[in-house]
Structure 1
């Protein structure tokens, strides 16, 4: 696997309510440099909690998370904000774009927060917009573009600061089938061309088949993992078989 971008050791997460609920129960996981891993599992299995813990959104109850050998949960608020902007990129199902800003302003937001010089910002904007094929959208407002275009813009914003780890939570959940294919081909291109490690939660076997490895979480534990070979159709069938064994079809996950 080479060097690990992400190391997760004995990760646990409990929610204290009337009855204590353990969402994660001792997960161990490593993500290598430039590896693309999808996370799947039944509804309530803990896969989103797992992603939220890695992304520093949800503090674990126990265990350790290291991203590039640093534990983000030991940082103060200012250090954590800088760490997120430097190391992590985020892509969500709902795009999370600022509708009052243009496409260009949305994409540049992470660099603006870091006060990058204007010439460097513009060069990175040019590179990422060409790479993602959205040069003609830069002056448009968010409400003027389609769902697939919005996700391209969200991806551009997530990678413009050249993160080492891209985190995606159901990134195709609001897209039609053509846009799904386009977006996943972009993820593959980012993974290959930009040497970016990707960790993606999805319920969709087709989307998951773009990854190089899939981990399955059940009842808060790492249940199984499968690796993609040269035959993507065969990999897709392995995904379907594993999901069927877990007891849920695509629409139940």
Structure 2
């Protein structure tokens, strides 16, 4: 069953010179997959994620998420769709500093007026999975970057979304925290059967996924699948990036 269907997506930015950021990109993601999007700087990977997440509109094509077309919804229903069908994890965490960790995590449920009993059950499950039960009463400035990203992930999965979207989720973390956070993503993917789509420039981060889609110049360049051997998959990712061309800095 496909949770996400991307069909011939085009994105053209108007200006003195029109710029085609995406040029007919198509792929599907099945329920329970953990997929990364990679490509050189300016390849269109973040634009693609923004279109899928409904942050940005596209010029042509079609995006279907959990059998719905979110870009055809009005503002109120689109906001509801985002809260109930999508989870978001960002590089800079996007936590609300005036709220406690607990209040940050349950914010999507609060906005949807979910019953307190259901809220407490989901909060317990998410925080236990992420190992942050002891942080609930703390403020965001009292916790580390790695802990903050765990809180952001807990908030993203609290609504049990059909699709979890992550934009460079390890970009602000040290190497130890990167490994910890990626192992959490794998755990969420396997234990909750959560479908995850992540943009990253880091081949090590991508090696935790089951599939990597490569974008170049707004086009689908290639995709590779993991055979459950992370070291071998990392090597395949590095080989593909080398064929894409450019130095390491181009994949930031």
Q: How does 1:10-159 map to 2 (within 5 A)?
A: 10-159=8-157
Cα offsets for 1:23-82 (capped at 9, x unmatched): 000001100010010000000000000000000000000100000111101100111111
Contact in 2 for aligned 1:205/1:250 (Cα 8 Å):
no
2:171 aligned partner:
173
Contact in 2 for aligned 1:204/1:250 (Cα 8 Å):
no
C-alpha RMSD of matched pairs (Å) = 0.7
- C-alpha separation between the residues in 1 aligned to 2:122 and 2:247? 41
SS of match in other structure, 2:50: helix
Q: Give, in angstroms, the shift of residue 247 of structure 1.
A: 1.1
2:221 aligned partner:
223
Q: Give, in angstroms, the shift of residue 232 of structure 1.
A: 1.2
Is residue 251 of structure 1 aligned with residue 249 of structure 2? yes
TM-score by length of 2: 0.98
- C-alpha separation between the residues in 1 aligned to 2:133 and 2:191? 19
- C-alpha separation between the residues in 2 aligned to 1:14 and 1:84? 24
Contact in 2 for aligned 1:203/1:250 (Cα 8 Å):
no
The total of aligned residue pairs comes to: 251
- C-alpha separation between the residues in 1 aligned to 2:81 and 2:97? 26
TM-score by length of 1: 0.98
SS of match in other structure, 2:5: strand
Q: Give, in angstroms, the shift of residue 249 of structure 1.
A: 4.1
1:194 aligned partner:
192
- C-alpha separation between the residues in 2 aligned to 1:99 and 1:137? 14
- C-alpha separation between the residues in 1 aligned to 2:232 and 2:153? 28
- C-alpha separation between the residues in 2 aligned to 1:99 and 1:20? 40
SS of match in other structure, 1:126: helix
Unaligned runs of 5+ in 1: none
SS of match in other structure, 1:181: helix
Cα 1:250–1:191 shift into 2, 3 Å? farther
- C-alpha separation between the residues in 2 aligned to 1:151 and 1:248? 30
Cα offsets for 1:179-235 (capped at 9, x unmatched): 000000000000000011000000000000000000000000000000000321111
- C-alpha separation between the residues in 1 aligned to 2:105 and 2:203? 29
